[in-house]
Copies of this chain bind each other. A is one copy, B any other.
Amino acid sequence: MSIVWEQVASQTKIESAAVSCLSLNSTMDSAPKRVRVTLGERSYDVLIGYDLLPRVGEHIRSIGLKGRALLVADEVVARIYSGIVRDSLAAAGYSVVTFTFSTGESAKSFSVLESLAEQFANAHVSRGDFVVALGGGVTGDLAGLLAGIYVRGLQLVQIPTTVMAQVDSSVGGKTAINLRAGKNLVGTFYQPRLVVVDPATLSTLGAREFNEGIAEVIKYGIIRDESLLDRLEGSLDQLDSLIERCVQIKAEIVAADEQETTGERALLNFGHTLGHGIEAVAGYGRLLHGEAISLGIRAALWLSVRHADLPPDQLTRVMALLHRYQLPTQLPEDLPIPAILETTKVDKKFTGGEIRFVLTSKLGSAFVTPGLTRADLEAALLFLRT
């Protein structure tokens, strides 16, 4: 077991059937895997490997960042991991200032963003310093946006510590906060300089938090690589290699369409249009993001059966996977469908009065269609009640 693993063992709470079948030490002695996100001057590496957390300082030093490290984490993640990261940064010669906020999706708000910005100002943060976003998707989105707008841009390093963040949200430069009216409506495209993924951090996730990230892995399987579904149906060892494959897909799509202009990046929104609406209407926090996406995936597959000739047994196959990872597939009765549809209208996928929806005709590939109506989406939501 690595140093990280020993240090956090006392705070670890492994409840998940999914986690218990992992072989967390499978590759920890090898060099980290490296996935390049190719974006011209803004290109960067995603490093993936066990035991990377205690070496994050040297990896940041190797890409030439100077100034102070501004470590941003929620209170829970800070308690578990900020010590290791601070020590590593200090060993690499960096001064570190730590900024924390209360855990949860509600942190993706203007008020928390403003509070962190004022704390940056009080710490005399300047353009020479850089942000280290340590945590899950909420932290990456929030600290990434802060990095993008504070003094019009600070360098950014992402250290994702959840499945969700490691396979998806830390890569590709999307940052965001929520509005009352909808999720991720305010944000930037702002690429990090480096992403450091240490799968050992997943050992401290509860079952719900682990499984919600699997929803995004299922999404990658549906839109790009059916073999990911095979792996999820198997024993789920070699988590680092599973993450690497997801990051490769994300990197390819982002390199082809950084700012979601050609439509390719929109494929990553499979399951997200209705998922975001459900998440917002449930109230942030009741359903985890990945749980709402699980519902969105089921709805999108049902629409794919109706409108894109997806064989119905493929929907059944994915349903079995969602259930295996204890992801919800039924829309709670108290979430009103009209409100979800209304929220969907303010989603970013809605352009010029038309919803762009992602469908699949065959697992492993997907496409964007503008042809669906409000009635189609309503029918899909009614189906989710069953």
Q: Which residues of A contact B (CB under 8 A)?
A: 66-67, 110-111, 113-114, 117-118, 120-122, 124-128, 145, 148-153, 174, 176, 179-182, 185-189, 259-260, 345-346, 348, 350-352
Contacts and interface: CB of A to CB of B under 8 A. Distances in A.
Given A110-B113, A118-B181, A174-B152, A124 B350 contact: yes
Given A120-B185, A121-B182, A152-B176, 12 more contacts: A66-B352, A118-B180, A121-B179, A126-B346, A126-B350, A126-B352, A127-B351, A150-B186, A151-B348, A152-B189, A153-B259, A188-B188
A152 B378 CA distance: 27
B346 A124 contact: yes
A348 B128 CA distance: 10
A165 B66 CA distance: 35
A143 to B, nearest CB: 14
B259 A181 contact: no
A188 B151 CA distance: 8
19 contacts: A67-B352, A110-B110, A110-B111, A110-B113, A110-B117, A117-B179, A117-B185, A117-B186, A118-B179, A121-B179, A124-B345, A124-B346, A126-B346, A149-B186, A149-B187, A151-B348, A152-B260, A152-B348, A153-B188
A345 B151 CA distance: 13
